[in-house]
Structure 1
């Protein structure tokens, strides 16, 4: 008999192209050997190259979706993506922690759609600190790090965020032959590099990375190992074809 899979929950937007948001997250989690559950925070009108509009799901409706899952399933690993506002994000995190104090929460700060649509202005620093102090990990790319905490360089902003929670600063927007991510933890710095692919740009790659990391945490890996394996999963996703919508492959090391 296959070993029962741990559960992991994504709380994010619905992308009809299935390249980003809850559909992409569940695909990545399932392919990584975890059973993916989902709650929707927004209905978007988009495809892999165009974003037209978003309709937000209210906090009470998000909570209702999640509450029925929490009654039935043991959920300790949660990822939050696109959400209406940072005050809503903080309220949601506090509500989740009241139900499950041991929950490990990853926030993938979706601040701007690939097609250019902007979701959030620069947040209040005190609000941002309150959010980050509840997180197991935040996964900004370089422009997002600067949006969250304006600084001379993304690395400086990430280091400031790391005073509040672990930070995985994604290097996909940098130049060079390698895409280098940096995991910043208290007094520890891990560098994760992979070759930059010639046609590796994919819609939703940040969603996939954070979901793959969450899956590895649910499977029992340490945070540095989860980030390493999540990046490896994402590299395979980026190299899966020459289109903007990547393919998810079932991991070969899970007999379930």
Structure 2
């Protein structure tokens, strides 16, 4: 067993229920044997079913948190979640690229809280295009993809956006007996299929998936393998209990085979 762990950084909001955001990311990273560092972008007043309000952390304070961490730790894997504005996110991404030009940056575009709170109502797709140029991977769900990129379907939007940045399109909002995530990468489509579980809805499942993919990348896996293994982990998380707050653990082997 290795005696040291790779570092990964989550830049995300603080959810007091620990189901989503910064705490969920760090729990996911820990379960994978990756040391999770955390920078807070927002303090939210919420639980697993109710979102009341958010207090944003100023960009300068976010940068100060990150800068001090990067001075000490060799961080090459970064995930970004909830952020106050896409314009400020672009500023942060360009600043990060100056500090870590070769870093793997995964953006999970949190546009709306599960409880219905809107963070970014009408994203400017031209601004989104600039964001894509700074990212290694984005992980939108079906509704988020349609809001980020104008197209007739989420799949068409993801295919177009993938010309500028790989896209893992999360299929949890779809229908049918199977949940299919699709990676649009390097001109290919990779499909990752798991059964749609009864009582499988979980607060923060999108955060968990993107953090699991980041962990697998930090462990040295290719992007398609990282997405496949991240999907396995998330399915285990969804199946862990019948509540809206899942349990984190990494099994010795995935419990569900790709279909």
TM superposition score normalised by structure 1: 0.97
Deviation sequence 1:30-80 (CA, Å, 0-9, x none): 001100000000000000000000000010000001111000000000000
- Aligned length, in residue pairs: 253
SS at match of 1:11: strand
Instruction: Give runs of ≥4 in structure 1 deviating > 6 Å.
Output: none
Query: In the aligned structure 2, how far is the partner of 1:106 from the partner of 1:145?
Result: 15
Equivalent residue, structure 2, for 1:147: 147
Greater RCO structure (CA 8 Å; 6+ sep)? 1
Answer whether contact 1:33 1:251 (CA < 8 A) is retained: no
Shift of 1:151: 1.9
Question: 1:142-181 alignment to 2 at 5 Å?
Answer: 142-181=142-181
Tell me, which stretches of 5 or more residues in structure 1 are unaligned?
none
Shift of 1:127: 1.1
Equivalent residue, structure 1, for 2:241: 241
Is residue 2:218 matched to residue 1:214?
no
Query: In the aligned structure 2, how far is the partner of 1:169 from the partner of 1:121?
Result: 20
Alpha-carbon distance change, 64 to 251 in structure 1, aligned in 2, over 3 angstroms: farther
Equivalent residue, structure 2, for 1:65: 65
Question: 1:1-256 alignment to 2 at 5 Å?
Answer: 2-252=2-252
Deviation sequence 1:108-143 (CA, Å, 0-9, x none): 000000000010022222211111011110000000
SS at match of 1:16: coil
Shift of 1:2: 4.3
Tell me, which stretches of 5 or more residues in structure 2 are unaligned?
254-259
Query: In the aligned structure 1, how far is the partner of 2:128 from the partner of 2:105?
Result: 15
Answer whether contact 1:205 1:238 (CA < 8 A) is retained: yes
SS at match of 1:75: coil
CA RMSD of aligned residues (A): 1.0
TM superposition score normalised by structure 2: 0.96
SS at match of 2:165: coil
Shift of 1:163: 1.2
Query: In the aligned structure 2, how far is the partner of 1:213 from the partner of 1:250?
Result: 13
